[in-house]
Amino acid sequence: MTIQFRPDETYRDDYTYANSPECIARAPFPFPDDEYMYSMNLEPHVSVGDAALKAVFDIDEHYISECRDRAITLEKDPGMHYVSAPHMMEAQWDLLELIMESYANDYPEYFSLEKDGSRWHWTNKLLGIDDRFTFGDPATLPYEPMEYITRQAQGDWVLQEERDGTLYWGAGIATQRADYSLRFNLGMAWHEFHGPVPLVKETGMLDRALKFLLRLRCGHPVRRLNWSLTVNPRLDVSAESLPDWAPDRTTVTAENAGKLVYLRIELQPLHRLPRSNAIVFPIRTYLLNLEDIATNPAWAKRMHRVLKSLNQDLVDYKGFTRYRDAAVEWLSQFDDGRDEEVAKAG
């Protein structure tokens, strides 16, 4: 497939980020119903159609600019956005292999991987990378294996290790965080890092999701969609950078919400890794502002209904209490109140 990349767009300062009509249409719209409640919504991660769900790990027209923005964030706050426990090195190599093989198989015009025993040759034409290294020897790479390959990948990535009947955060790279701290979460167990999510304990969903993931097998990945809202197309809305982006939430009105309010869609394809038995938890983010959403009137109608009826605890948790009403009012122009079927996700 041929992708028309936008290498020079920005996700901070002047915010030149924009979506082509094709990029909007291929996004995995996260609302299958007119009402939303936080749920597992897991399904097999199999290739579907020719959009975001076709590849093992999706890339799109924003690939180059996102990788550049990641490098800026990592340089600005070294040690804050990439962390790994020392014992996670085997899982790091697992992840490097999975991403390289997936990219090379799904996008052979942009990536290639050649193996000669432990001597590997990786080419990334989009970023101008042509490296030879020894698999298993971190001294032959410029960064640790996980950081090396995820600097070349869209989305954030977390490695979870299984022990004592649960999952722990063992490593991660996160330059697109939605209001959480990677360093704070490192080492946390499953129920600890999901603890702030409203209503999941009462429904028993956390226990069910953990049991499901502990049974996840190599070669049988699953995926789920999550979402939140943000103001401006800013990727790094982490807890540490709160002073940089929190004031933007006060600038939204019913008149400008279409331009300023963005739906952050998170595609999360989870894989069990073969050597380490760790689980990789990617968080691939898509940013569509409400004007983008409105190019599909069925999406705009559904999103209006979801936001209008959303449980207030979830509104508070997802961080858009200040501008929920403005977004709902802006979207209301696309909802005629009729109940004909609305297009589903994807």
Strand order, beta sheet including 222-231: 43-44, 222-231, 261-272, 279-289, 156-163, 166-173, 82-84
Q: What is the pLDDT of residue 190?
A: 86
Compute the Cα dihedral for 339, 346, 221, 95 and give only its sign: negative
Q: Comparing C-alpha atoms, which of 176, 167, 265, 156 is closest to residue 216?
A: 167
Q: What is the pLDDT of residue 305?
A: 98
Report the chain's mean pLDDT, rounded to a whole number: 93
Confidence band for 343, pLDDT divided at 50, 70 and 90:
very low
Confidence band for 280, pLDDT divided at 50, 70 and 90:
very high
Q: What is the pLDDT of residue 246?
A: 92
Q: Specify the higher pLDDT residue, 179 or 299.
A: 299
Write out the DSSP string of 124-140.
ETTTTEEEEEETT-GGG
Distance in angstroms (rounded) separating the CA atoms of residues 274 and 286: 28
- In eight-state DSSP terms, residue 108 is T
- In eight-state DSSP terms, residue 194 is T
Q: What is the pLDDT of residue 80?
A: 83
128 CB-contact burial (10 Å; exposed 0-12 / middle 13-18 / buried 19+): exposed
- Of 84-88, 189-193, 200-204, which has the strongest mean pLDDT? 84-88
At residue 74, does pLDDT exceed 60?
yes
CA 39 to centroid of chain Cα atoms: 17
Q: Comparing C-alpha atoms, which of 148, 168, 143, 145 is closest to residue 158?
A: 168
Confidence band for 345, pLDDT divided at 50, 70 and 90:
very low
Q: What is the pLDDT of residue 311?
A: 93
- Written as six digits, the tokens of 249 are 């939430």
Q: How many residues does the chain have?
A: 346
Distance in angstroms (rounded) separating the CA atoms of residues 154 and 60: 9
- Whether residue 40 contacts residue 46, with contact meaning beta carbons closer than 8 Å, is answered with no
Q: What is the pLDDT of residue 272?
A: 98
Helix (H) or strand (E) holding 307: helix 297-309
Q: What is the pLDDT of residue 126?
A: 98
Q: What is the pLDDT of residue 79?
A: 80
At residue 346, does pLDDT exceed 70?
no
Q: Specify the higher pLDDT residue, 240 or 222.
A: 222
Cα angle: 228, vertex 197, 178; to 5 degrees: 35
* Each residue's pLDDT tens digit, 102-156: 999 999 999 999 999 999 999 999 999 999 999 999 999 999 999 999 999 999 9
Distance in angstroms (rounded) separating the CA atoms of residues 104 and 26: 21
Distance in angstroms (rounded) separating the CA atoms of residues 223 and 268: 5
Instruction: Read off the pLDDT of each residue in 294-309 and give the average, rounded to a whole number.
Output: 98
At residue 203, does pLDDT exceed 80?
no
Residue with tokens 């940089």: 244
Distance in angstroms (rounded) separating the CA atoms of residues 105 and 251: 44
Q: What is the pLDDT of residue 11?
A: 97
Share above pLDDT 90 across residues of the chain, in percent, rounded to a whole number: 80
- Whether residue 209 contacts residue 40, with contact meaning beta carbons closer than 8 Å, is answered with yes
How many Cβ atoms sit within 10 Å of the Cβ of residue 48? 14
Q: Comparing C-alpha atoms, which of 278, 281, 280, 282 is closest to residue 162?
A: 278
Confidence band for 200, pLDDT divided at 50, 70 and 90:
low
- Whether residue 321 contacts residue 24, with contact meaning beta carbons closer than 8 Å, is answered with no
- Just list the catalytic residues: 224
Q: What is the pLDDT of residue 111?
A: 98
